[in-house]
A and B are shown apart, each in its own frame.
Chain A
Amino acid sequence: MDQSLIEVDNFTKRYQDFIAVDKVSFSVHEGEIFGLLGPNGAGKTSTLECLEGLRQPDTGSIRVAGIIPASEFHKLRNVIGVQLQSSSLPDSITPLEAIKLFSAYHQVEPRFEILDRLGLDVKKSAQYYELSTGQKRKLALILAIMHQPRVLFLDEPTAGLDVSTRSVLHQMIKELQRGGTTIILATHDMAEAEQLSDRVAILLNGKLVKIGSPLEITATGAGLTKISVRTRFSSLPDAMNSFPAVSHILHQDEYQVYFSTDIGPTVSALIEYLDRSDDTLVDLRIERPSLEDRFLEITNLGERQ
């Protein structure tokens, strides 16, 4: 997973005077799931569309599998699969016809079994306008993966999908990765990004403000770790200085909740305290800051600046 398949160097995209993406550089390794995160208007879709060859970068260079998307789109189209956020198909086309049609353009045999996998087989002969939003997104995904692309771009892939379909889709994404597909995932769903991505990049106002694995990103923040403790006699102290590195304390239901800036000393002191006292530990839960917490921290900080 150490060979770069996508290389973005000093890439800028402008719309008249508005700079949508400002000198962004990153690379994506082969076989990696790379999350592209950011609030609305951060430049995610512009970045994706330049990677997909739908738009032309103003400055900088982009290469996808060694191909320059804007000028070599004819080479790129069989290498990439794209599920666009805003796309459509003719109203009267059926999922079966769409699969046959685009398979022919990709010069591959149609793979109808994916319809069954995503629960779209019952609607395979329905016209496009008769499909629900979720079914349309499933069809877009099927069309993106049916030619087994080396690079798959997914823009909000699970928006509008029910819980079970999301789960199936997440499994499929992981399977595709195991099969060697490199996946670029743009999403607003932080839990999804954290669960699926090997690395994420956070864009804010067109700039790349953070890149790394979800664990690295959450670890570098000022985020507090939540330590929830329940004991038999509820004897835990609720003074701030009772344990080291505790920034504040809450009492929730039967639990004493400590927010720690440094989890190690706090937990050690807690265990020592319980050893010394006559109380007994019933439950101990440690929740590190989520990617969503860190994302909000970064975007709020960015907006304040």
Chain B
Amino acid sequence: MKAFLRHFSFEFVNGVRNKNLLLLTYLLPVGFYLMMGFVMVEINPLFLEHMIPAMVIFGMLSAALLGIPDPLVTSRENGVFRSYKINGVPSLTILLMPALSTIIHLVIVTAIITFSAPVLFDAPSPVNWGWYGLIFLAASVAVVGLSILIGVISKTSRMTVLWSQLVYLPSMMLGGLMIPYSLLPESVQRLARILPATLAMNAFNGLAMGGVSDFSAWGSVATLVSGGVLAFILALFLFSWDSRNTTRRAHPLLGLAALLPYLLQVFFN
């Protein structure tokens, strides 16, 4: 436990000390939130209605999808994991540390956005704080789990960019952050439904913000949690200490199985 806590405290500090992580975890989400608050609300006053959840989800996408995978790949390729292995750091801990520290950083960013938006921009606050917290956790687990999996299965840093952008860009455009889900064409809605961002926005709107969900909000929360947990389990199964010396338990494409909960909920939710 002492080792775990010490490792966690280092990982947490690393998120602030490392300039790239600082940029992706704090500066980009908070900077973008302020810009959207001052500019977007002038252009589209309706944006204010879902500003808080949209900016919280944007923070998750930036911190996790852009911040987690690349350090995992470079650590594996540079021999950091080899150092960890010979000193007895378990693979579970190696994957849990960036996941937990990112979620804690996200709690801070979320608090900044949630408490400043009503004051700065007159954005509506959540009406159900319990659900707000639970949906935040579910969405964080989903996005962080997916990000860890991308870091584990990618061979190179370039591949992490490709895989991350495959989730990040559609989430930004179709996830309900900029354009409400209900305004998307039906064919695009089907595609948007498999994105964690869409499910999180739907759950926030239906259960926490006092709005109306476009499809089952409970189902969205369940999908986010199961998708995140499945992605983490797959990451642990496919984890490799060293790409030169150790072989994976299965082909990295098995990681695509993490999409199953998202695909299934399109039919059942």
Contacts and interface: CB of A to CB of B under 8 A. Distances in A.
Interface string B106-135: 000000000000000000000000000000
Contact of A87 (B6, B10, B83): B83
Contacts of A105: 3, 7, 87-89
A53 B14 CA distance: 29
How many residues of A sit at the interface, in one of the four size bands?
20 to 34
A89 B83 contact: yes
Interface in A9-58: 49, 52, 54-55
A264 interface: no
A52 B86 contact: yes
A54 B14 contact: no
Contacts of B89: 105
A88 interface: yes
Contacts of A82: 86
Given A101-B7, A104-B6, A90 B82 contact: no
B79 interface: yes
A127 interface: yes
B82 to A, nearest CB: 5
Contact of B10 (A52, A55, A78, A101): A101
Contact of B17 (A49, A92, A101, A107): A92
B245 A49 contact: yes
Nearest to A128: B80
Nearest to A82: B86
A106 interface: yes
A87 B245 CA distance: 13
B242 interface: yes
B87 A106 contact: yes
Contacts of A78: 88
Nearest to B15: A92
B21 to A, nearest CB: 9
B75 interface: yes
Contacts of B249: none
Interface in A87-143: 87-93, 97, 100-102, 104-107, 127, 140, 143
Q: Is the interface of B mostly helix, strand, loop or mixed?
A: helix
B85 A54 contact: yes
B86 A106 contact: no
Given A90-B75, A92-B17, A101-B3, A106 B82 contact: no
Contacts of B242: 54
B88 A106 contact: yes
Interface residues of B, number: 25
A39 to B, nearest CB: 20
A100 to B, nearest CB: 6
A88 B78 contact: yes
Interface hub of A77, A82, A87 (most chain B Cβ within 10 A): A87
A88 B3 contact: no
B78 to A, nearest CB: 4
A3 interface: no
Contacts of A220: none
A90 B79 contact: no
B17 A100 contact: no
Given A92-B18, A100-B6, A105-B3, A54 B83 contact: no
B83 A77 contact: no
Contacts of A140: 83
Contacts of B251: none
Given A91-B18, A93-B14, A143 B87 contact: yes
Interface hub of A52, A82, A105, A127 (most chain B Cβ within 10 A): A105
A93 B80 CA distance: 11
A78 B88 CA distance: 8
A71 interface: no
A54 B18 contact: no
A84 B87 contact: no
A80 B14 CA distance: 28
A195 interface: no
Contacts of A93: 10, 14
Q: What 10 A-B pairs have minimum CB-CB distances, sorted nearest first? A: A104-B3, A87-B79, A77-B88, A88-B78, A102-B87, A82-B86, A105-B88, A87-B83, A88-B79, A105-B3
Given A73-B85, A74-B88, A90-B75, 5 more contacts: A52-B86, A54-B82, A91-B18, A97-B10, A102-B87
Interface of B: 2-3, 6-7, 10, 13-14, 17-18, 71, 75, 78-80, 82-83, 85-89, 241-242, 245-246
23 contacts: A49-B245, A54-B85, A54-B241, A77-B86, A86-B82, A87-B80, A87-B82, A87-B86, A88-B83, A89-B80, A90-B10, A90-B14, A91-B18, A92-B18, A101-B10, A102-B87, A104-B2, A105-B87, A105-B89, A106-B88, A127-B17, A140-B83, A143-B87
